[in-house]
Amino acid sequence: MTATLIYAAIINGILSGGLYALLGLAIVLIFRTTTIANFAQGEMGMLSAFLLIMYATALPLPLWGQWLATVLISGAVGALIYWLILRPNPQAEHLNMTIRTLALYSLIFAVVSYRWGGNEPYTVPSLFPAHTVDIGGIFVSVEQVGSLSVMAILGVAFLLFFRFTETGLTMRAVAINPDIAGLLGINVGRVSLLVWVIAGFLGGVVGLLVAPQSFLDTTLMRPYILKAFTAAVLGGLYSFPGVILGGLLLGLAESFASIWISPHLREPFAFLVLLLILLVRPEGILGTRHRVRV
Amino acid sequence: MNSIKLSILIAGSLFAATGAFAESGVTDDTITIGATAAATGPIASSCYPVTQAAEAWFAKINERGGIHGRKIAYTVLDDAYSPQRAIGNVRRLVEQDDVFAVFGGCGTATAAAALSYLKTKSEVPYLFPYAGIGELVSPTQPSIFALMPLYDQQLGAILPFAASQMEPKPATAAMISANIAGADAWRAAAKSYFDANGIKLLYDELVEVTSPDRTTFVVQAKSHNPDLLVIVDAAPGAARFLLDMQQQNWKPKMVVGASPMTAEQFLDPVAGAADGLVVAAGFVAPPTADAAKECVDTLAKTHPDVKPSHYSMFGCLGAVVFVEALEKAGRDLTRANLISALESMSGFESGISGPIGFSPDNHLGITSVMPFGVEAGAFKIVGDPVSIK
């Protein structure tokens, strides 16, 4: 394997892994605070990409302004999802809540397919120019560098937010025990709403980063959502740094497998890694064992 | 005896009252046909215009009174490029909707799936899908007809042309193929050409049509630095290759492709990245050609939101040929008469393709391809028609 291929594998692996990590962060955020597995996280990103090209690009704003508007709208969509679908009957069983997200997944797909599926796939403008940068003989596109930068900034901002802000501390308290958090005066409902707003933001950002690279169609996020869950499990379902690490490791593992061994091993290798981690360390790389008093 | 006569009288009256015609999908005033097509999914932008253009042409014919007093009713079911759904769709069209013929549609994988079912219903005509699989025409099936040259035939014709345009001649090649039915045939055809002409095949891989990842293949192919790159993939996937090649700052001496790379769904996303680089096998006039005007205007009338493309031109071509066959079959329309009409078609000038002809031994209508190149972001026919084998 030449140095060029190694560097290409690293760059592609970090790019993919960063996307899995961002999406995984949204999944872990919702799971930690509400114990709901949000299977619609990917479709929320897909919807954001469609909102960009169908509506936001008509706004009298520069492209970065249209992107920002779309991300903000994505947060609002997250809030709407919480208000209409998750907030009613909050005492329902976890299975009930999880199936609501599965139904939402199908609903978003069906609506978008009906409305815009006929002319897919679409070309989505990238926020970054289509130039290539030569770094020591390795060619990296400005789009790749830009996407990596966005992912890195968001990831760090996310971790700092939860570690050092009062709102982040409040969310962590709700994640540990929502009943006690409520008794301590924390508005659990408002925290849950904020969680879904942030999940909407993250899904929107991932959708807008993926769509220019892949062309936009209604199945855009399907390869990513499973990997995002894998990243979340790899890192430990309760650890934010863990899901970031899990995502990056997953991206690098499948990138090296596809370039070094065979492109057809990309998908199976990723899940092989997942199986191994679950067998050897089921709590994930940075997760801790959770014991429940009975 | 009186009761028997009465029964016959009643049966005859019922027959007359329904206006029933002896053939499935044909009544006094309607010919019902159907299709399974990717109206949604990863290749919808390519495939759906095939059926939309055919719908538009049929609407135009219906406005003029139809064929021998019968209008064409065209039912299109969405398969989202899923072979399983395609089988379900054709089963429904044949067994529930009782169509006269399965017409058109698009997608090699789904056509292969539809074919697997329709082979068991040999009386039902299956006509002109946009699909490059050999099983459609080899061996010749009584009621299955194709227009689109197979991908192995396209490559067999376009590779020698492409090589003749290169100086010096290519010494090495790489090939990336969609992992769909028929891939073995076109890969074998390409390898046969390479072996016969001393071109070393350095890289040969299959890629999933529905997978968004092309970067891995581009990185691997680039590492071999071939003179010639052959791509047989759906239009969006082929466009993805070109864009990833641009990102990787890699430009082989020539990129050779099959008919999906003569489509606007390939050209529009790649913009200038294909200029002077791509040669592909086309078999229907581009929508910008003068001869294409009637098809383009007809499409605009019923589907103004659909951009004319190679695929819509193919859909129009299929409809034109089908209508011609219906005319020839006459008022006494049966599946057998339709098949006879098609098999007797020789040198039919559609105006938007080479001459079209069928025979009892040959059910593939088009016998030559046109070499398409890209200049200043637009398609251009860069050579004389090349006969296919």
Report residue B181 as tokens: 């039915």
- Does the CB of A151 have a partner CB in chain B at under 8 Å? no
Q: With contact defined as beta carbons under 8 Å apart, do B374 and B262 qualify?
A: no
Cβ contacts (< 8 Å) between B207 and chain A: which residues? 263
Q: Distance (Å, rounded) from C-alpha B221 to C-alpha B252? A: 10
Q: Are A113 and B40 inside 8 Å of each other by CB?
A: yes
> ω into residue B83 within 30 of 0, thus cis?
no
| Residues B122 and B107 occupy one common structural domain | yes
Look up residue B141 and give its two tokens: 């099936």
Average pLDDT over residues B277-287: 93
**One domain for residues B242 and B264:** yes
Q: Identify the residue among B48, B215, B244, B266 best suited for mutation to test binding to A, counting A beta carbons within 10 A and taking the highest.
A: B215
DSSP letters spanning B267-287: HHHHGGGGTTTEEEEE-S--T
pLDDT band at residue B138 using 50, 70 and 90 as cut-offs: confident
| Domain membership flag for residue B349 | yes
Looking at chain A, list the stretches that DSSP marks H as alpha helix, in order from N- to C-terminal side: 3-34, 41-54, 63-81, 94-116, 142-164, 166-176, 178-183, 188-214, 222-235, 240-256, 266-280
A12 to B219: CB separation less than 8 angstroms, yes or no:
yes
- What CATH number does the domain containing B39 carry? 3.40.50.2300
Q: In this complex, is the C-beta atom of B246 within 8 Å of any C-beta atom belonging to chain A?
A: yes
B354 within domain boundaries: yes
Q: Is residue B365 in some structural domain? A: no
Residues B144 and B157 in one domain: no
B54 is a domain residue = yes
Lowest mean pLDDT segment, chosen from B19-33, B170-184, B276-290, B339-353: B19-33
Kindly report, residue by residue over A156-192, the tens digit of the pLDDT. Answer: 998 899 889 999 888 888 888 888 888 888 888 899 9
Q: What is the pLDDT of residues A14-49, one digit of tens each?
A: 988 999 999 999 999 998 888 888 999 999 999 999
d(CA A22, CA A284): 17
Q: Is residue B203 located within the same domain as residue B80? A: no
- Residue B95 in any domain: the answer is yes
Q: Do B91 and B162 lie in a common domain? A: no
Same domain? For B14 and B138 the reply is: yes
- Residue A279 touches chain B, beta carbons under 8 Å: no
State whether A215 and B213 contact (CB < 8 Å).
no
Give B44's contacts in chain A (Cβ within 8 Å): 117-121, 217
Q: Do B339 and B234 belong together in one domain? A: no
Number of domains observed in the structure of chain A:
1
User: In chain B, which residues have their Cβ closer than 8 Å to the Cβ of A220?
Assistant: 212
The residue ranking higher by pLDDT, A45 or A217, is A45
Give yes or no: residues B243 and B375 share one domain.
yes
Do B113 and B40 lie in a common domain? yes
Judgement on whether residues B41 and B163 belong to the same structural domain of the protein = no
Write out the two tokens for B32: 């019902």
User: Rounded to a whole number, what is the largest CA-CA distance in chain A?
Assistant: 60
Q: Is position A178 within any domain?
A: yes
Question: Looking at residue A290, what is its pLDDT?
Answer: 57
Least confident of A234-248, B79-93, B221-235, B245-259: A234-248
What is the CATH number for A154?
1.10.3470
Residues B209 and B138 in one domain: no
Buried b (16+ CB within 10 A) or exposed e, B320-346: bbbbbbbeebeeebbbebbbebbbebe
**Is residue A266 pLDDT above 60, yes or no?**
yes
- B215 contacts on A by Cβ (under 8 Å): 12
Domain that holds residue B111: 9-149+288-358
The mean pLDDT of chain B is 90
Is residue B50 within a helix (H) or strand (E), and if so which, with residue range?
helix B44-63
Claim to verify: residue B224 and residue B341 sit in the same structural domain: no
Whether A288 maps to a domain, the answer reads no
Is B278 among the domain residues?
Answer: yes
Across residues B249-258, what is the average pLDDT? 93
pLDDT above 50: residue B201? yes
Contacts across the A-B interface (CB distance below 8 Å): 86
3-state secondary structure of B388: coil
- pLDDT number for residue A75: 96
The domain of A25 spans 3-280
- Please give the pLDDT value at position B4: 54
* Residue B1 resides in a domain: no
Residue B3 pLDDT exceeds 80: no
Separation between Cα atoms, residue B302 and residue B306, nearest integer Å: 9
How much is the pLDDT for A291? 54
* Whether B212 and A218 lie within 8 Å, measured CB to CB: no
B219 pLDDT above the threshold of 90: no
| Predicted confidence (pLDDT) at residue B315 exceeds the cutoff of 50 | yes
ipTM of this complex: 0.75
Residue among A117, A143, A223 whose CB faces B44 most closely: A117
Q: Sign of the C-alpha dihedral, residues B285, B287, B293, B294?
A: positive
Into how many domains does chain B fold? 2
Q: Decide if A290 is inside a domain.
A: no
Q: Is residue A148 part of a domain?
A: yes
φ/ψ of B106, rounded to 5, equals: -155, 140
Please state at what angle helix A41-54 crosses helix A63-81, rounded to 10 degrees. 140
